[in-house]
Amino acid sequence: MFFKEISGHKEIKRKLLITVKEERISHAQLFTGPQGNGKLAMAIAYAQYVSCTDKQENDSCGKCSSCIKYNKLIHPDLHFVFPVVSYKGNSKPVSDDFLKQWREFILEKSYHSFNDWLEKMGVEKKQAGIFAHESNEIIRKLNLKTFESDYKVMIIWMPERMNISAANKVLKVIEEPPEKTLFILVSDNTEMIIRTILSRTQLIKIPKISREDMYETIKGEYEIPEEKIQEIVRLSSGSFLKALKLLNSDEVGDSEYFTKFTELMRYSYSVKIDKLLLWAEGMSGFGREKQKIFIKYSLRMLRENFILNISSENKNKISFLADKELNFSEKFSTFIHKNNIYKLNEEFNLALKHIERNGYDRLIMLDLALKTTKLLKIKNDI
C-alpha cells in the first residue's frame, strides 16, 4: 500500500513521513475519522514506509524485499487484528482464521467498510468482535523477535469492537510494549474505546476527503462527464466509499436500506399497524449488523429531511441525498420538524443501543415503528 494511492490528506501524510525520517515514531498511534476516508490504507502505507529499506522522499520504494511482501500483506513482521465471528467447529475464532479473506479484502481496493468485511466473511447476520482469546495471540506474536524489519507492526482495525477483557489485556501490552513495537489502531468511533487505551495512544485525526481532492482523484481516474463528477463529489460527502458506489451504479443510494426506510415512514404515517408488524418481522431477518446499519442510515435520512424542511431553497448546497432519496424527501420532509426530530433521533439511537446489546430484535423494531407512528403525527407549530 502506498500513500499515493490514498486521495488527499497531504498534510497528514507529510507529518507521518517526518516522524519516520526524524525517528520520532510513537509506539502506539490511533488513526481515527469517518468511514470512507482511507484511514486503514493510510495505516498500512505508514507501516510499509516504516519498514521500507529504500525509503523515497514521499513514499515507499515499492521494490525492496520488504515492500514486495507488504504489497501482498505477507511480511512476517506485519500483524493484523480485526473483528471476527465464531463459526461451526470454532467457538474461539481469532483473526488468523480469516487471514486469507482479509488479505483479499484489503488488496481489492484502498477504501474499506465494516459491512463490506462482514460480507467478505459471509456472516452479515452475526455480530463480529475482537475477543479475549485474540489478545493472547497479540501477546504471543509481539513476544517473538523481529524477522526482517526493525519494527514489529500490529494494526488493530475497529478496536471499538474489542470486548472489555480483550481491551484490558491489550492495554497492558500498549503500556509496556516489547522493544521496537508499533501499534496502529484504526477506528471509526473512538467514543466506544476504553479511556485508558485512548490516553495511551497518539491520536491521528483523519478527516473526510476534501471536495477538491475528491474531484481531482475522480477526474484523474474515471472518464465521466464533468456534471456527473460534480454530483458524485457533492453526494459522497467526503467518503470515497460512497463515491465508489455512485461511480459503479446508475441507481445511487443504499437501495435496500432506502426501501426499508420509506416503508417504515409510509406505514407509520398511515398508521398501518398490520404492515408495521410485517415490516418488523422482515427486519428481524436482516441480522444484527445490517439492522445497525439500517438504523444509522435512517438517522442520516431523518437529519437530511429535517435540514431540507427548514432550508429547502438551499437543497443543492446542503443536501447529501441521492436522486431517489431526494425525490422521496422533497415530499416527506415536511413531516420532520423541530417538534419531533429530537425525539425521533433519541428513539432510533435507543433502538441501536438495544440491538448492540442483543435485545429481542423483532420487538425492538416493532417498538421503534410504533413510536415513529406517534411522533410523525406531531404537528409543526410554525
pLDDT, position 287: 82
Instruction: Assess whether 158 and 258 both reside in one domain.
Output: no
Instruction: Assess whether 181 and 289 both reside in one domain.
Output: no
pLDDT, position 315: 57
Buried b vs exposed e over 263-297: b needs ≥16 C-beta within 10 Å? bbbebbeeeeeebbeebbeebbebbbbbbbbbbeb
The residues with which 29 forms a beta bridge, in sequence order, are 184, 202
Instruction: Assess whether 111 and 179 both reside in one domain.
Output: yes
CB 307 within 8 A of CB 237: no
Q: Which H or E run contains 176?
A: none
pLDDT, position 314: 57
Instruction: Assess whether 180 and 316 both reside in one domain.
Output: no
In a domain, 329, yes or no: yes
**Phi, psi dihedrals of residue 210, rounded to the nearest 5°:** -65, 155
Low-confidence residues in the chain, pLDDT < 50:
251-253
The residues with which 204 forms a beta bridge, in sequence order, are 31
Triad 185, 190, 196: Cα angle to 5°: 80
Torsion angle in degrees (nearest 10) through CA of 354, 360, 361, 367:
-80
CB 209 within 8 A of CB 7: yes
Instruction: Assess whether 177 and 272 both reside in one domain.
Output: no
Residue with cell 516489547: 178
Instruction: Assess whether 294 and 350 both reside in one domain.
Output: yes
pLDDT, position 318: 55
Triad 52, 81, 33: Cα angle to 5°: 80
pLDDT in tens, 284-332: 888 888 898 899 899 989 999 999 888 766 555 556 677 788 889 989 9
Last residue of a domain, one of 144, 176, 205: 205
Measured N-to-C along each axis, helices 288-310 and 361-376 cross at an angle, to the nearest 10 degrees, of 10
Instruction: Assess whether 150 and 36 both reside in one domain.
Output: yes
pLDDT, position 124: 59
> CATH code at 73?
3.40.50.300
Instruction: Assess whether 72 and 167 both reside in one domain.
Output: yes
In a domain, 229, yes or no: no
Q: How far is residue 303's CA from residue 277's CA, in Å, rounded to a whole number? A: 25
CA 300 to each of CA 131, 309, 325, 367: distance values in angstroms, whole numbers, following the listed order:
30, 14, 11, 20
* Nearest alpha carbon to residue 148 among 55, 46, 74, 44: 74
Sequence letter at residue 276: L
Sequence letter at residue 210: S
In a domain, 220, yes or no: no
Domain of residue 145 covers 3-205
pLDDT, position 253: 44
CA 198 to each of CA 41, 356, 363: distance values in angstroms, whole numbers, following the listed order:
21, 22, 35
How many domains are there within the chain?
Answer: 2
Q: Is the pTM of the predicted complex or chain greater than 0.95? A: no
In a domain, 221, yes or no: no
Burial zone of 312 (CB within 10 Å; 0-12 exposed, 13-18 middle, 19+ buried): middle
Q: Left if phi > 0, otherwise alpha if psi is -120 to 50, otherwise beta: which for 205?
A: beta
Average per-residue pLDDT in the chain? 90
Neighbours of 23 (CB within 10 A): 6
